């Protein structure tokens, strides 16, 4: 996987750094695993704007991803590695021995023709899914469940991974990509390996129009607003705006917003890095 800097033949290409997509093997998705996506433009059922800075963007179709990996002990073959417009990671089309096809999050180093399997006692190879109780300590994992059978919720974005640190009783200790160390039930499933497309963070869009293609409208700086619109607005001349805070007055940059009485606090051993 690598990135490429373009020749500055236009202003939009001068600073652009693109992904070479050398891992991607096809440009056509599997039709049976596509669903339509309707855009709201940030409006609710009354047509009123409830989310600012949303709208426009290229039309997309949703790829149905198998986050649960619940096809146990059935060997699947990776048919293709594909681009997914709805996420930063690549996806892999897997064809199982019973001819069923499913999309999964592709792991780094996954190749076409590779055999993968999900189950209780499978080998800890890249792309295989297994419960945390069966994975050796120190293994790099991704696509981790937080509740058994719910499906992967942790470490799903491009290049992300977690590390299995320890195991005690019915819980397993995991170090997450954020730096947080927490307990997860040992019967939750996880996938072996690092999520693909790790160079995603190195890409540079190059122009504002590309952000509009993604469905994001221009965002007004709070300091440039009037006092009636934002707590940081107003003032004579170019005022700094005071302490950073949200539109509703909640302080930013260090202010902890997590509830102290949240049920899952007891599972967090060490909070994420500041």
Residue-wise pLDDT for 168-218, tens only, equals: 999 999 999 999 999 999 999 999 999 999 999 999 999 999 999 999 999
Angle ∠(131,74,112) on CA atoms, nearest 5: 95
Q: Does residue 122 carry a pLDDT above 80? A: yes
CB 116 within 8 A of CB 123: no
- According to the CATH classification, is domain 3-38+54-201 in 3.30.70.1230? no
The Cα 144–Cα 176 span in angstroms is: 10
pLDDT digits (tens, 9 = 90+) for 107-120: 999 999 999 999 99
User: Is residue 273 predicted with pLDDT exceeding 80?
Assistant: no
> Mean pLDDT across the stretch 116-126?
94
pLDDT of residue 217: 97
Q: Whole-angstrom Cα distance, residue 261 to residue 252?
A: 21
Residue 158 has pLDDT above 80, yes or no: yes
Separation CA 236–CA 246 (nearest Å): 21
Q: What is the DSSP letter of 136?
A: P
Residue 241: what pLDDT? 85
Q: Is 197 exposed, middle or buried (0-12, 13-18, 19+ CB in 10 A)?
A: buried
In angstroms, rounded to a whole number, what is the distance separating the alpha carbons of residues 126 and 115?
Answer: 10
pLDDT digits over 41-89, tens only? Answer: 999 999 999 999 999 999 999 999 999 999 999 999 999 999 999 999 9
User: Do 234 and 226 contact (CB within 8 A), yes or no?
Assistant: yes
Residue 173 vs residues 133, 159, 166: alpha-carbon distances, Å: 11, 21, 5
Q: What is the share, in percent, of the chain residues with pLDDT greater than 90?
A: 94
- Dist CA 33 CA 101 (whole Å): 8
φ and ψ of 173, to 5 deg: -90, 130
Domain boundaries, the chain: 3-38+54-201
pLDDT score for 274: 62
């Amino acid at each position: 996987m690598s990135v490429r800097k373009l020749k500055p033949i236009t202003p939009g290409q001068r600073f652009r750094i693109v992904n070479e997509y050398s891992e991607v093997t096809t440009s056509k998705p599997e039709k049976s695993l596509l669903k339509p996506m309707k855009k709201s433009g940030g409006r609710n059922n009354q047509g009123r704007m409830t989310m600012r800075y949303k709208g426009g963007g290229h039309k997309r179709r949703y790829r149905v991803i198998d986050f649960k990996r619940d096809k146990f002990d059935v060997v699947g073959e990776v048919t293709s590695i594909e681009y997914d417009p709805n996420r930063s990671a690549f996806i892999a089309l897997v064809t199982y021995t019973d001819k069923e096809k499913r999309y999964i999050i592709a792991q780094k180093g996954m190749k076409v023709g590779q055999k993968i399997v999900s189950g209780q006692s499978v080998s800890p190879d890249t792309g295989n899914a297994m419960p945390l109780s069966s994975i050796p300590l120190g293994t790099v994992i991704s696509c981790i469940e937080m509740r058994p059978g719910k499906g992967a919720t942790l470490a799903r974005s491009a290049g992300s991974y977690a590390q299995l640190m320890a195991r005690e009783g019915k819980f397993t200790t995991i170090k997450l990509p954020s730096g947080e160390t927490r307990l997860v039930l040992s019967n939750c499933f996880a996938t072996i390996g690092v999520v693909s497309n790790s160079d995603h963070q190195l890409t540079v869009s190059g122009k504002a129009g590309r952000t509009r293609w993604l469905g994001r409208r221009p965002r007004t700086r709070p300091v440039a607003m009037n006092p009636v619109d934002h707590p940081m607005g107003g003032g004579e001349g170019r005022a700094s705006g005071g302490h950073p805070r949200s539109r509703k007055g909640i302080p930013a940059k260090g202010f902890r917003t997590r509830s102290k009485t949240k049920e899952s606090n007891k599972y967090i051993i060490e909070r994420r890095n500041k």
